[in-house]
């Protein structure tokens, strides 16, 4: 059974959330006997341009200050995204980070300007044998993975596992996880607005009275699903095993690394921080949690959210958790330790 530490915080006060994250970090460090190396990157998500609910830079400030006081050099680390947007290339990604207030420490974009720089990490996965992990991660042994816990169109929810799986993977690794996902358009619901065609970076959609997706060109990025105003596009999951592949990539990202995970259940939106629009939160703010076990942490976040909202929100994400447990990334059995 893994320990997950929790501080209740129903506010949206970033300074307070950041202080709670630091308190939890210190607790995990003390409980596990963790000692920091000289350089420790913080896994971050800078938020797509137009998104308003990503974790604010202020949430990281107390942790950054603490690491510096401990003689540790912190940096932000991230990879470029698969689809067209404000974080597709390193230049644009750095611009977006700066515009969103992330300028306190150096930023490492780990997979190079085109997302093609990676190291291969071997794992005993059922679907993946070699993970393509952003090359820049290779030179570090330790990370602090900070996650905004919220919904995700394909994964069910985005938390620590997703930060590892998609956030550490180079472009080829992201594609490998998405492979086999084939979205389909409901001709009945489609109003032929063309927004999905504009969004698709892979020219996989054409208008033949209604939108039609070419499965041979589609890479399964889900961009079209996110932008369709009619909810006319749905994932067809058959044969994709996306949720299991996500767990296997998380295993590859965490292999031989010493990681502390901190997750914030606040501003919980239906879709993830890659969505470049303002979204209304769909659940109450709950607080901040931390653990050295990403599976236990995500399970605790999901349980707390479902208990509080009395709905089975993001339930399909449990497929990833069960598979992650099966392949040895962590355990879904946890003890929740509440701090004041
Ligand atoms: S965005 Fe939706 S409604 Fe618009 S063309 Fe595409 S599938 Fe049809
Ligand atoms: S059709 Fe949709 S899921 Fe497929 S590549 Fe285009 S935007 Fe991505």
Arithmetic mean of pLDDT over the chain: 93
- Residue 39 sits in the same domain as residue 166: yes
Mean pLDDT for 211-238 is 83
Q: How confident is the model at residue 239 (pLDDT cuts 50, 70, 90)?
A: low
Which residue among 207, 217, 219, 235 is best mutated to probe the pocket of ligand 2, counting the most ligand atoms within 8 A of its Cβ? 219
Residue 161 predicted with pLDDT over 70: yes
Ligand 2 pocket, 304 CB below 6 A? no
- For residues 163-183, average pLDDT: 89
Predicted pLDDT at 238: 62
Residues 6 or more apart from 327 whose CB is under 8 A from it?
A: 123, 124, 125, 126, 247, 248, 251
Q: Could you give the 3-state DSSP secondary structure of residue 50? A: coil
224 in ligand 2 pocket by Cβ < 6 Å? Answer: yes
Mean pLDDT of 135-149: 97
Same domain for 55 and 187: no
Q: What is the pLDDT of residues 39-72, one digit of tens each?
A: 999 999 999 999 999 999 999 999 999 999 999 9
8-22, 80-94, 123-137, 310-324: lowest mean pLDDT where? 80-94
Q: Residues 78, 100: contact at Cβ < 8 Å?
A: no
Question: Which residue has the least CA distance to atom 6 on ligand 1?
Answer: 196
What distance in angstroms lies between residue 173's CA and the mean position of ligand 2's atoms? 17
Question: Are residue 130 and residue 207 in the same domain, yes or no?
Answer: no
Same domain, 260 and 211: no
With a cut of 80, say whether residue 237 has pLDDT above it.
no
Mean pLDDT of the 67-90 span: 92
Flag whether pLDDT at 32 surpasses 80: yes
Instruction: Give the list of residues 6+ apart from residue 233 with CB closer than 8 angstroms, or none.
Output: 183, 184, 185, 186, 196, 211, 213, 224, 225
Report the percentage of the chain scoring pLDDT > 70: 99
Q: What is the pTM of this model?
A: 0.89
Question: Distance (Å, rounded) from C-alpha 70 to C-alpha 64?
Answer: 10
Q: Supply the DSSP string of 192-221, one letter for each residue.
A: ---HHHHH-TT--EEEESEEEE-TTT----
pLDDT band with cut points at 50, 70 and 90 for residue 83: confident
The residue whose CA is least distant from atom 5 of ligand 2 is: 218
- Pairing state between β 287-291 and 233-234: unpaired
Whether 70 and 171 map to the same domain: the answer is: yes
Does residue 200 contact residue 223 with C-beta atoms inside 8 Å? Answer: yes
Q: Same domain for 135 and 230?
A: no
**88: pLDDT confidence band, cut at 50, 70 and 90?**
confident
CA distance 221 to 183: 9
8 Å CB contact between 69 and 59: no
Arithmetic mean of pLDDT, 104-130: 93
CATH number of the domain enclosing 305: 3.40.50.11440
Is residue 7 domain-shared with residue 57, that is, in the same domain? yes
- Give me the number of domains the chain comprises: 2
Could you tell me if 172 and 250 lie in one domain? yes
Range(s) of the domain holding residue 105: 2-177+241-339
């Amino acid at each position: 059974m893994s320990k997950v530490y929790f501080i209740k915080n129903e506010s949206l006060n970033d300074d307070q959330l950041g202080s709670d994250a630091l308190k939890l970090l210190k607790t995990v460090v003390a409980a596990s006997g963790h000692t920091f190396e000289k350089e420790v990157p913080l896994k971050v998500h800078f938020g797509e341009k137009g998104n308003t609910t990503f974790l604010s830079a202020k949430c990281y400030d107390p942790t950054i200050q603490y690491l510096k006081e401990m003689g540790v050099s912190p940096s932000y680390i991230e990879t470029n995204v698969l689809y067209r947007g404000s974080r597709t290339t390193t230049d644009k990604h750095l611009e977006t980070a700066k515009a969103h207030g992330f300028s306190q420490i150096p930023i490492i974009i780990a997979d190079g300007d085109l997302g093609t720089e990676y190291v291969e990490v071997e794992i005993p996965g059922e679907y993946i044998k070699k993970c393509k992990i952003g090359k820049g991660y290779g030179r570090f042994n330790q990370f602090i993975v900070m996650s905004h816990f919220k919904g995700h169109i394909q994964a069910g929810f985005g938390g620590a596992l997703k930060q590892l799986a998609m956030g550490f993977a180079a472009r080829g690794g992201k594609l490998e996880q998405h492979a086999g996902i084939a979205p389909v358009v409901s001709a009945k619901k489609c109003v032929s607005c063309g927004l999905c065609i504009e969004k698709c970076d892979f020219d996989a959609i054409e208008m033949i009275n209604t939108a039609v997706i070419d499965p041979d060109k589609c890479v399964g990025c889900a961009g079209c699903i996110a932008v369709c105003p009619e909810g006319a596009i749905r994932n067809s999951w058959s044969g994709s095993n996306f949720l299991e592949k996500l767990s296997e990539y998380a295993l590859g990202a965490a292999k031989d690394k010493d990681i502390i995970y901190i997750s914030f259940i606040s501003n919980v939106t239906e879709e993830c921080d890659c969505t470049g629009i303002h979204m209304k939160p769909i659940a109450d703010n709950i607080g901040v949690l931390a653990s050295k076990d990403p599976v236990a942490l995500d399970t605790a976040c999901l349980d707390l959210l479902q208990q509080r909202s009395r709905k089975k929100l993001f339930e399909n994400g449990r497929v990833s958790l069960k598979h992650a447990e099966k392949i040895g990334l962590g355990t879904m059995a946890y003890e929740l330790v509440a701090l004041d």
